[in-house]
């Protein structure tokens, strides 16, 4: 069970859109529609922002959206705001009752 | 609103057993999956394993030989034991509730730092 692959960093200016990728295999991301995304600010617990590839929990702005193609899932943040600056992690069901996380992406709002 | 709170020693000696408890409030521990997730300083998240309210459990294959999880429904708590710890087990440990069997963690504890050192 290997960690999912995310770019270490991403950036964008306020108002722009940025997309973060999460690449796995056919045994995890590609095999199930159970990819979730989390936002983590420094010193805080992660917060669920996307689940089951593209669903948003109540209270999460629709600026956050998720998608998947093959073995790669993506998180898009539209209309970037200063408060979006945080670490983002993807997570996928990996079969055999296990889950796996990505290595995380640090999003910088320029 | 479900709330989770981790508790346990913040310092554990090498080769000893790390023991943590997560107390669930604002909801029942029944009929849900409960996980432990850890994060070394400056690094990413690692899923340790989960326990169902019935007591059945599943673990990360890389940690399986050292991990035991259990649930105490009468006190709305679940627990983690990690044996033979080393400095590599130093991390912030989170407990979390899963949306479903396949994951997606919708409620998290605040996290507790456990340091392995003599």
Paired with A69 in beta bridges are: A72
Chain A CB contacts of B6 below 8 Å:
none
* pLDDT at B7 (0 to 100): 97
Per-residue pLDDT of A82-105, as tens digits, reads: 999 999 999 999 999 999 999 999
Distances (CA, A) of A51 to A16, A99, A107, B5, B74: 23, 13, 19, 23, 30
The per-type count for chain A, helices as H runs and strands as E runs, is 0, 9
List all residues of chain A from 63 to 92 with a beta carbon under 8 Å from chain B.
Answer: 89, 91-92
Tell me which residue in A32, A48, A52 faces B105 most closely, judged by beta carbons: A48
Nearest CA in chain B to A92: B103
Confidence of residue B102 (pLDDT cuts 50, 70, 90): confident
CB A41 within 8 A of CB A88: no
In angstroms, what separates the C-alpha of B105 from chain A's closest C-alpha?
A: 7
User: What does the alpha-carbon distance between residue B93 and residue A79 come to, in Å, rounded to a whole number?
Assistant: 33
User: What does the alpha-carbon distance between residue A10 and residue A88 come to, in Å, rounded to a whole number?
Assistant: 10
CA atoms within 13 A on the CB side of B69: 25
* pLDDT at B77 (0 to 100): 97
Per-residue pLDDT of A35-59, as tens digits, reads: 999 999 999 999 999 999 999 999 9
Chain A CB contacts of B59 below 8 Å:
98
* pLDDT at B103 (0 to 100): 82
B61: which residues sit within 8 A by CB, 6+ positions away?
A1, A98
Terminal CA-to-CA distance of chain B, rounded, Å?
39
Per-residue pLDDT of B87-97, as tens digits, reads: 999 999 999 99
Distances (CA, A) of A102 to A17, A82, B18: 21, 23, 25
* pLDDT at A1 (0 to 100): 72
User: What does the alpha-carbon distance between residue B94 and residue B5 come to, in Å, rounded to a whole number?
Assistant: 9
CA atoms within 13 A on the CB side of A22: 30
CB B97 within 8 A of CB B85: no
Confidence of residue A2 (pLDDT cuts 50, 70, 90): confident
Per-residue pLDDT of B51-84, as tens digits, reads: 999 999 999 999 999 999 999 999 999 999 999 9
In chain A, at which residue ranges do the beta strands (DSSP E only) sit?
9-12, 18-23, 35-40, 47-50, 64-69, 72-77, 86-93, 99-101, 105-109
Confidence of residue B101 (pLDDT cuts 50, 70, 90): confident
Burial B53-62 (b: 16+ CB within 10 A, else e): beeebbbbee
User: What does the alpha-carbon distance between residue B61 and residue A106 come to, in Å, rounded to a whole number?
Assistant: 27
Mean pLDDT for the stretch of residues A14-18? 97
In chain B, at which residue ranges do the beta strands (DSSP E only) sit?
3-7, 11-12, 18-25, 33-39, 46-52, 57-59, 67-72, 77-82, 91-100, 103-108, 112-116
Note whether B105 contacts A: Cβ–Cβ < 8 A: yes
* Mean pLDDT score of chain B: 96
pLDDT at B44 over 80: yes
């Amino acid at each position: 069970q290997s960690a999912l692959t995310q770019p270490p960093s991403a950036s964008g200016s306020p108002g722009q859109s940025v997309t973060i990728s999460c690449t796995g295999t056919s045994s995890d991301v590609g095999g199930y529609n159970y990819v979730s995304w989390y936002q983590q600010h420094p010193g805080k617990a992660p917060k669920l922002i996307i689940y089951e590839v593209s669903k948003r929990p109540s209270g999460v702005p629709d600026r956050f959206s998720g998608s998947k193609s093959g073995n790669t899932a993506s998180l898009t943040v539209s209309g970037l705001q200063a408060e979006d600056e945080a670490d983002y992690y993807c997570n996928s069901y990996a079969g055999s009752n296990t889950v796996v996380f990505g290595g995380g992406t640090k999003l910088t709002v320029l | 609103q479900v709330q989770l709170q981790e508790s346990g020693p913040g310092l554990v000696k090498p080769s000893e057993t790390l023991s943590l408890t997560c107390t669930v409030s604002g909801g029942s521990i029944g009929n849900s999956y409960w996980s432990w997730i850890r994060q070394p300083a400056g690094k990413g998240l690692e899923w340790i394993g989960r326990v169902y309210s019935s007591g059945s459990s599943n673990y990360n294959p890389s940690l399986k030989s050292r991990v035991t999880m259990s649930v105490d429904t009468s006190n709305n708590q679940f627990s983690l034991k990690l044996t033979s710890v080393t400095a590599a087990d130093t991390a912030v440990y989170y407990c979390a509730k899963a949306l479903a069997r396949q994951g997606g963690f919708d409620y998290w504890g605040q996290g507790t730092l456990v340091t392995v050192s003599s």
